Amino acid sequence: MTVGKKILLALTGLAGSGKTEVAGISKQYGFTVLRLGDVTEKILVQKKLPLTPENEEYVRENLRKQKGMAAFAIELVPHIEETFKTTHAILLEGVRSWEEYEYVKKIFPSVLLIGVWAPPQIRYQRLEKRAVRPFTIEEAKERDVKELEHLHMGPTLALADRFVINDSTLDILQQRVDEVIGKIMP
């Protein structure tokens, strides 16, 4: 949780659970949000590939083949260290694998893992309606299985230190994030 006077949160959750909404709310508390997905987007830009689900999956899988299941954390840790030079609170959005979390925890032992959870049917409806990278229900179910089985996300979700349940309105989500983050902030 705190690194000296620094606070580090790692946010995990399946697609459509509301991680981006929770990350946005966390900014009200002074958190700087670093997305693990930015690593993928940076590589796509470097390779001059369009931002498509297929290209994103290709980059993610290739990076993990090269650097292991903690690849995204390995790539992001220098940015975390640099960002802590100018801020006291960072929220990592989109931690997937248990290995990513363990890698971050080795370097920042007091990191706090926050799970964002919503029932599958609510998540699937959100994913169908989202403007950027929408998924059909079948695609969303396939992604859930991939993330849980192949990305070792099950332990990350099951062993989170705290949970934010996102099964209602944005106002209720705000209250729930306030309850979790409000107890964390000094």
What is the spatial distance between Cα 96 and Cα 63, in angstroms, rounded to a whole number? Answer: 14
**Percent of the chain, pLDDT > 70?**
97
Per-residue pLDDT band for 186 (boundaries 50, 70, 90) equals: low
Torsion of CA 126, 132, 138, 144, to 10 degrees: -80
pLDDT at residue number 3: 45
**pLDDT, tens digit, 9 for 90 and up, residues 48-64:** 999 887 898 899 999 99
Provide the residue ranges of all domains of the chain, joining segments of one domain with +. Answer: 2-35+87-184
User: Would you say 48 and 149 are in contact if contact means Cβ atoms under 8 Å apart?
Assistant: no
Q: What is the mean pLDDT of the chain?
A: 92
Is the pLDDT at 69 greater than 50? The verdict is yes
Is the pLDDT at 4 greater than 60? The verdict is: no
pLDDT at 1: 43
CATH class for the region spanning 2-35+87-184: alpha beta
* Side chain identity at residue 52, one-letter code: T
**99 is written with which tokens?**
């290995």
Q: What is the SS3 assignment for 122-147?
A: HHHHHHHHCCCCCCCHHHHHHHHHHH
Neighbours of 154 (CB within 10 A): 13
pLDDT single digits (tens) 132-181: 888 899 999 999 998 998 889 999 999 999 999 999 999 999 999 999 98
Summarize pLDDT for 13-51 with one digit per residue, the tens.
Answer: 999 999 999 999 999 999 999 999 899 999 999 999 998
**Strand intervals (E) in 28-142:** 32-35, 89-93, 112-117
Query: How many whole angstroms separate alpha carbon 85 and alpha carbon 89?
Result: 11
Say whether pLDDT at 78 is over 60: yes
Cβ-in-10-Å burial (0-12, 13-18, 19+) of 148 comes to middle
- Specify the pLDDT at position 184: 85
If we measure between CA atoms, which residue out of 108, 118, 87, 122 comes closest to residue 12? Answer: 118
